[in-house]
Amino acid sequence: MQQMQFDFRDMFRAPRLALSLQRIWIQFVGLIVAFAGYWVLTYLSFAVAGIGISTGWQKYGLLPCLMGEQVNWISYVIFAVAVIWLLVVYLVTATAVSRASYMLLKGNNFYTWREAFSFSVKKAISLILSPVSLVILVAFIAFGGAVVGWLGKIPYIGEFGITLFTPIWMIFSLLIVFMAIVVVVAAVLSPAILATTDDDAFEAVFQSFSLVWSQPWRLIFYQIINAVLAVFAFFVLAYLMKKSFIVMDRIFAATTGADYQNISAQAMYLISVWVAYSIVWVEQLFGHFAPWIYFSREFVPLNLPVHQIIAAHIFAVWMLLVGGYVLSYGLASLNVGNTLGYLILRKKKDDENLLERKDREEEEDDEEENAAEGNKEDHSVAENAESGKNS
């Protein structure tokens, strides 16, 4: 078991713990599955709306979005399903990353990424129910307020009823605000809570309430540290990957010549078209530092032979996958940080070190190992008895 200080200093371990083939691979697999489902469903919503695939591709490329389009309600329902798919798969993936990190902190270096995904898939219902149940509760309270508002339309009685009980309505409004904050906390920390406790949605909801009520400033402080570290970790790896690409590009340009240069330039043009919206996002996030990690100039299409066009497409796909892996590191760092943050907050709040506790999955594994050892002993006894009879 790794030692923790159980204060803000532990948060700075997140980028280092996330820098692992296992954690990044888990996040990368989840990112691909989430994006693939979102992409297919969103382009399906385009088709239902009468927007051709070629038209949607020219406008959005690999990053389609239906918001802002004047389409029918069926298309918006399909797009909503796409967004829900994206969020659910992300939560499942975040739980898998948190579980793998938690097991590493406990000293289990042989916990596999398949086991992490198996655990997180079992927790999918709890992941969905924890924020959704809170949203339903908030909606129920808000509906109660709406009913009071409708009753306020009653002449004289309604008007005096609303004004006389203003403090009560303010208390209920404050409760809605508090519940909304808890919803956000539950959505962010439920993966870490479930990964470290091996519990259900009720535990995630309870712990979210408890954290917001008893540890609000630490919760905010740790989340700020975690977000800054995750962005910094992503930036550093992206910077190093861009420098490595430049080195590779110059070596091959010097040895292969103009053919490689044309393929590389065409691939960069294809990527810039496919992910055009991401260029704006990166520039908004990193400002003047964006060229350090992303496109620093515009690319134009080249008139190349067919085989070089095919080669450029292959090269572009590989570079996109590399970019996805870099993005996965940033997300993995964020999820590892949430895991560390929850372990610290749980220690501060309840004086409980979750790293010292065996959860249900570990107890089941121990039972299986004990049963296997028992079967071996029984088999050995049976063999000895048989050999005694024969002798």
What is the average pLDDT value for the chain, to the nearest integer? 89
Say yes or no to pLDDT of 6 above 80: yes
At residue 67, the pLDDT reads 86
> How many distinct structural domains can be found in the chain?
1
Select the more confidently predicted residue: 377 or 190.
190
Between CA 196 and CA 224 the distance in angstroms is: 21
Structural tokens at position 235? 């930036």
User: Residues 157-169: what's their mean pLDDT?
Assistant: 79
At residue 250, the pLDDT reads 93
User: Residues 231-260: what's their mean pLDDT?
Assistant: 94
> Is 52 part of any domain?
yes
User: Distances in Å between the alpha carbon of 265 and those of 5, 98, 117, 205, 259?
Assistant: 49, 39, 38, 51, 10
Residue 2's pLDDT band, with cuts at 50, 70 and 90, is: confident
User: Residues 75-80: what's their mean pLDDT?
Assistant: 94
Between CA 314 and CA 316 the distance in angstroms is: 5
State the CB neighbour count (10 A cutoff) for residue 299. 16
Please, are residues 141 and 175 in contact by the beta-carbon 8 Å criterion?
yes
pLDDT tens per residue, range 122-147: 999 999 999 999 999 889 988 888 88
> Is 60 part of any domain?
yes
> Is 385 part of any domain?
no
> Is 374 part of any domain?
no
> Is 318 part of any domain?
yes
Nearest-5° angle of CA 303, CA 305, CA 307? 135
Amino acid at the residue 225: I
> Is 383 part of any domain?
no
Domain that holds residue 291: 8-361
> Is 246 part of any domain?
yes
Residue 381's pLDDT band, with cuts at 50, 70 and 90, is: low
Structural tokens at position 252? 């091959």
State the CB neighbour count (10 A cutoff) for residue 259. 15
Please, are residues 259 and 205 in contact by the beta-carbon 8 Å criterion?
no
Say yes or no to pLDDT of 156 above 80: no
Going by C-beta distance under 8 Å and a sequence separation of 6 or more, which residues neighbour residue 176?
Answer: 138, 141, 142, 145
Say yes or no to pLDDT of 56 above 80: yes
> Is 335 part of any domain?
yes
